């Protein structure tokens, strides 16, 4: 029986969240202690633990059918790999940074400078597009210390909170692009694997949709239902259930996490009582 081979980072910032996402999709695994291949016991899927830099090649060669990988790694690899779905975690920026004490008036300041980076292809493409000529020094890891050691005038690296730059006396001056984890597929994926991938994508989308939503239950006097319904459109319209107490109803709906507090305030002002907020584990649209 065909099994979907999913590559994830062996260790690092993506590994734990990738495995957790698969578990939230209801996929159960055997013990993963010191294993490089971890089979699922209830879904036709095997996880391959690989070095992050090796994953694009494994995808292109068809050794892995799909992978959970950072978009920044895909851009750097520059291969014919399809980004199936952005996953919303491990968000970062690929940015250029310079020492704090130096002035910066624009991209032209990088002309003739030395840039240290682990992303030479990405930086080359950016400089070429910007019409900038600079010397690139490829470094694997600890890029932030290059300016203090005199190896470079600036760096290009991934930035999340910016604390690492601050600690090393650097400031962010150019953002090349924003990145997050994505589910990417091999150009060599066959139809059997594609069918399994579609089932996986369905589960992942359901989990992701639920993360951004809250289930709301509230009680309201019947004369306020129309006003409250305008606040709570829900997926189609709120569910309205008469209560035992005459003249009152219970309304059930779903709201976006981003609008949560604004909507709660509006509900209270409209006369809603007994508001109950429930997390959603999965959401099937």
Do 199 and 227 have their domain in common?
no
Distance CA 51, CA 183 (A): 16
Q: pLDDT value at position 224?
A: 92
Q: Give the tens place of pLDDT for each residue, 66-115.
A: 999 999 999 999 888 999 999 999 999 999 999 999 999 999 999 999 99
pTM to 2 decimals? 0.83
Q: Which residues of 134-160 are buried (b: 16+ CB within 10 A; e: fewer)?
A: bebeebeeebbbbbeeeebbbbbbbbe
Mean pLDDT of 55-63: 95
Mean pLDDT of 204-212: 90
Distance CA 248, CA 2 (A): 55
Distance CA 259, CA 216 (A): 12
Which residues, at least 6 apart from 132, have a Cβ–Cβ distance to it below 8 Å?
107, 108, 110, 111
Of 13 and 121, the one with more pLDDT: 121
CA atoms within 13 A on the CB side of 201: 16
Within a domain: 76 = yes
Within a domain: 228 = yes
Helix, strand or coil, per DSSP, at residue 7: strand
Q: pLDDT value at position 233?
A: 64
Give me the domain span that covers residue 259.
212-279
CATH number at residue 242: 3.30.70.120
Helix, strand or coil, per DSSP, at residue 247: coil
Residue 5 has pLDDT above 90, yes or no: yes
Q: pLDDT value at position 235?
A: 60
Q: Give the tens place of pLDDT for each residue, 225-263.
A: 999 988 886 666 788 999 999 999 999 988 888 888 888
Residue 272 has pLDDT above 70, yes or no: yes
Q: In what order do the strands lie in the sheet with 114-117?
A: 135-138, 114-117, 154-159, 92-99, 170-179
Within a domain: 34 = yes
Count CB atoms within 10 A of the CB of residue 168.
Answer: 18
| Chain centroid offset of residue 142 CA | 24
Q: How many domains does the chain have?
A: 3
Distance CA 64, CA 81 (A): 11
Q: Give the tens place of pLDDT for each residue, 156-200.
A: 999 998 899 999 999 999 999 999 999 999 999 999 999 999 999
CATH number at residue 41: 3.40.190.10
Do 160 and 46 have their domain in common?
no
Residue-by-residue DSSP string for 136-196: EEE-SS-GGGTTTTTS-SEEEEEESSSHHHHHTTEEEEEEEEEE-EEEEE-TT--HHHHHH
Do 76 and 196 have their domain in common?
yes
Mean pLDDT of 259-268: 88
Within a domain: 98 = yes
Which residues, at least 6 apart from 39, have a Cβ–Cβ distance to it below 8 Å?
3, 29, 30, 45, 46, 47
Q: pLDDT value at position 234?
A: 60
Q: pLDDT value at position 72?
A: 94
Q: Give the tens place of pLDDT for each residue, 108-151.
A: 999 999 999 999 999 999 999 999 999 999 998 789 999 999 99
Q: pLDDT value at position 141?
A: 79
Q: pLDDT value at position 33?
A: 58
Do 72 and 200 have their domain in common?
yes
Q: pLDDT value at position 205?
A: 94
Do 188 and 174 have their domain in common?
no
Contact in structure between 8 and 48 (CB atoms under 8 Å): yes
Please list the residues that pair with 178 across neighbouring strands: 93
């Amino acid at each position: 029986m065909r099994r979907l081979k999913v590559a994830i980072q062996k260790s690092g910032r993506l590994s734990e969240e990738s495995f957790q996402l698969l578990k939230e999709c209801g996929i159960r695994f055997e013990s993963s202690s010191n294993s490089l291949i971890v089979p699922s016991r209830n879904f036709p899927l095997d996880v391959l633990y690989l070095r992050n830099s090796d994953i694009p090649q494994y995808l292109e060669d068809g050794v892995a059918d799909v992978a959970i990988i950072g978009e920044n790694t895909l851009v750097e690899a520059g291969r014919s790999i399809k980004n199936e779905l952005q996953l919303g975690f491990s968000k970062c920026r690929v940015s250029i940074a310079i020492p704090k004490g130096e002035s910066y008036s624009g991209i032209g300041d990088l002309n003739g400078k030395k840039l240290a980076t682990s992303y030479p292809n990405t930086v080359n493409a950016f400089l070429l597009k910007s019409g900038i000529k600079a010397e690139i020094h490829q470094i694997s890891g600890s890029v932030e210390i290059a300016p203090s050691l005199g190896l470079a005038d600036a760096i290009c690296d991934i930035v999340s909170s910016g604390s690492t730059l601050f600690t090393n006396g650097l400031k962010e001056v150019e953002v090349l692009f924003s990145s997050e984890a994505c589910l990417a597929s091999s150009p060599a994926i066959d139809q059997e694997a594609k069918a399994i991938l579609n089932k996986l994508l369905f589960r992942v989308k359901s989990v992701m949709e639920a993360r951004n939503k809250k289930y709301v239950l509230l009680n309201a006097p019947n004369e306020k239902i129309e006003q409250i319904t305008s606040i709570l459109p829900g997926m189609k319209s709120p569910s309205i259930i008469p209560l035992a107490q005459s003249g009152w109803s219970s309304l059930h709906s779903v709201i976006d996490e981003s609008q949560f507090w604004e909507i709660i305030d509006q509900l209270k002002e409209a006369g809603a009582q007994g508001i109950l907020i429930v997390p959603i584990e999965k959401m099937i649209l």
